[in-house]
Amino acid sequence: MSDIKVYVLEPSGEKNAVEAPTDMGLSLMEVLKASDYPIAATCGGMALCATCRVEVISDHELLPPSDDEGYMLDSLPVVSDTSRLSCQIRLNPDLDGLVVKLAPID
């Protein structure tokens, strides 16, 4: 089994480590929800609601957003170049050390 650490940057500036397995095909959203972060994910990970949006802080190379993710991000009033839907980020060993910040809950 190959676990990685993903870090969540808290509003206080503290980084909290989250252990994430890479052998189960989980998304970042699933790991954050299982770690009790306030991710609504009302669409269940289908890139339809953006309630799992995060800002990617580290410079990890991520796959480009799918068309569905891109359309959803384009529909939001406030996004940045680092905005992503955590449901669309599949965890793999290359993402060890990934740092994200949860988007504000609207």
Note the pTM of the prediction, 2 decimals: 0.94
Domains along the chain with CATH numbers: 3-102 (3.10.20.30)
Confidence class for position 105, pLDDT limits 50, 70, 90: low
| Residue spans of alpha helices (H) in the chain | 28-34, 67-74
Mention every residue, 6+ apart, whose C-beta is less than 8 A from residue 3: 19, 20, 21, 22
pLDDT at 1 exceeding the cut of 90: no
Do 76 and 95 form a contact (C-beta atoms < 8 A)?
no
Q: What is the pLDDT of residues 37-58, one digit of tens each?
A: 999 999 999 999 999 999 999 9
